[in-house]
Amino acid sequence: MFIDTHCHIHEADFPLSIDETLSDAKDAGVDTIICVGTSEASSRAALTFATSHQYCWASIGVHPHDTKDGYANIESLAHSSQKIVAIGEIGLDYFYTNSPKDVQIKALEDQIKVAVAHDLPIIFHVRDAFDDFWPIFNKYPGIRGELHSFTDTKANLDIALEKGLYIGVNGISTFTKDEAHKEMFDSIPLDRLLLETDAPFLTPIPFRGKVNQPAYVRNIAEYHAKRRGISLIEIASATTANAKKLFAI
């Protein structure tokens, strides 16, 4: 019924029992999970985890924060398994600049080329960097993907939609107090909306203060169904169809 399109439960420091986490997800109707890599080691772990769990899939890539530590092995890893459904999360993050901007930019372009070579969608992480991101995106016509954890402006949302991107929405959307952000989330077309937890981070209401987990995708869906005045089944059906189409799962 639901797909968590972005989480990190494969990481060694994930603080909850994996068996209980997967059982809770199933009980909540979350029957498919994408584990997303943030470094070379994290990407290998995501693939190992997905290979060991039937309804889990992997995305491989190096987060902009970690690009300074290398990303060359993503190319070889991309050849290794049909459990890989995307390249990501990759992108630009100028809020912290844990890696220099020029390193981030080169890593983004190089990893986009991996996605193109393997005909995979891309999970983009972009924060305070759209002025540099859009010109890079435009250099690669035909690429497809999503903006993960999107919390930017309506103007950048409109550009993303025009370019055919999907929009990943997580717990932030349930607890933000920014009215402009609330209106922006409400305006995302149903046929472009993806649900994600980013577990163990960004826990949605009503579970703030607890460790996030894939089961809470249902609560994010309930929140947005109520905001939009539609049924839970309608938002579940739409977002599941979107995820299946983008990630071919």
pLDDT tens figures, 69-83: 999 999 999 988 999
pTM above 0.95, yes or no: yes
pLDDT per residue rounded down to tens, the chain (249 residues)? 899 999 999 999 999 999 999 999 999 999 999 999 999 999 999 999 999 999 999 999 999 999 999 999 999 999 889 999 999 999 999 999 899 999 999 999 999 999 999 999 999 999 999 999 999 999 999 999 999 999 999 999 999 999 999 999 999 999 999 999 999 999 999 999 999 999 999 999 999 999 999 999 999 999 999 999 999 999 999 999 999 999 999
Considering only the C-alpha atoms of the chain, give the largest distance between any 2 of them, rounded to a whole number of Å: 46
Place of tokens 């169809």: 241
Q: Which of 228, 235, 246 is nearest to 1 (CA)?
A: 235
CA distances 118 to 17, 78, 151, 199, Å, are 34, 7, 29, 27
Helix (H) or strand (E) holding 6: strand 2-7
Q: Locate the domains of the chain by residue range.
A: 2-247
CA 118 to chain centroid, in Å, comes to 19
Tell me the C-alpha distance between 146 and 148, whole Å.
6
For residue 2, the cross-strand partners are 30
Is there a contact between 243 and 3 (Cβ–Cβ < 8 Å)?
A: yes
Is CATH 3.30.1330.10 what the domain over 2-247 is classified as, yes or no? no
Binding-site residue numbers for a divalent metal cation are 6, 8, 89, 125, 148, 198
Annotated binding-site residue numbers? 6, 8, 89, 125, 148, 198
